[in-house]
Structure formats: C-alpha cells, structure tokens
Amino acid sequence: MIAAVIFTSYAVAPMPRPAAAMALAFAAGSGAHGWVGIFFIASAEAGGPRQSGLLSGMAFTAIVVGLMLGAPLFGVVLEAADSYRAAWAVFAALSALVALLMALAGGAIHRECERARGGA
C-alpha cells in the first residue's frame, strides 16, 4: 500500500522542491522496496521445513522477473502515453492491486507455536 500511495503522489503532484522529491524517493526506497527481506522470510516460513528452499527460490525468481520487467513496462507506458503521470499511475494501480490481493489472501503462514495453542 505504501508503494501505491507514493506512486500516486508521483503521478498527481509534481515535485518542484528537491527536498520534497528526496524525501519521497527515500520513502519509496525504504517503504515500497524495503520489503524483500520480509518477503523471503515469509516465503520460507510458508513452505515449512519441507518446502522452504523451493519457495525461497520461487520468491527470488519472482523478484528478479519483476526487476527485469518493471523498468521496460514503465518505459512502454511512458512512451505510449507520453506522460510520466500515466506511467506512475499504472504502477500505483498495480501496487494497490497487489496490496488488495494480499489483504484478501489473509495469513498464509502457520507457525508451530500457533498450532500448539490451537490456532489455524
């Protein structure tokens, strides 16, 4: 959701002041892109002891594919619309969609301590 908010602000409001642009870029870097470590831990825990390696590998693959396709996709939208606003708006919408899907999917991690207490 952080990414959706930051990317929307890029699309809607130009950053005339360097300090504001720097603060927003810092927030984008730490908030919108600082999830990788948590993502790896969550993917390993979701796989449990038997499939943590497989899911960690799939998580890394998804990250690399996203890195390889993200910039060219941004460029395609930028060229097609001749607008940075449109490109940022598309990435804001994609980020919001991912946040919504994650919220609807709920908790995917079932830890041993939850099972011992009778949790799902």
How confident is the model over 1-52, as pLDDT tens digits?
888 888 888 888 877 788 888 888 888 877 766 777 778 787 888 878 888 8
Asked whether residue 6 is assigned to any structural domain, the reply reads: yes
Asked whether residue 91 is assigned to any structural domain, the reply reads: yes
Query: CA-CA distance, 82 to 116, in Å (whole number)?
Result: 56
Q: Considering only 21-25, 58-62, 91-95, 115-119, which range has the smallest mean pLDDT?
A: 115-119
Number of structural domains (the chain) is 1
pLDDT at 25: 83
pLDDT at 81: 97
Asked whether residue 120 is assigned to any structural domain, the reply reads: no
Domain that holds residue 101: 2-107
Q: 86 or 26, which is more confident? A: 86
Asked whether residue 115 is assigned to any structural domain, the reply reads: no
Asked whether residue 29 is assigned to any structural domain, the reply reads: yes
Q: 68 or 15, which is more confident? A: 68
CA dihedral for 104, 66, 10, 76, sign (positive or negative): negative
DSSP secondary structure code for residue 34 in this structure: T
Asked whether residue 45 is assigned to any structural domain, the reply reads: yes
Asked whether residue 117 is assigned to any structural domain, the reply reads: no
Q: 65 or 17, which is more confident? A: 65
Spatial CB neighbours of 92, under 8 Å, sequence gap ≥ 6: 3, 4, 5, 7, 8, 10, 11
pLDDT at 111: 60
CA 120 from centroid of its chain's CA atoms = 26
Asked whether residue 118 is assigned to any structural domain, the reply reads: no
Residue 97: CB atoms within 10 Å: 11
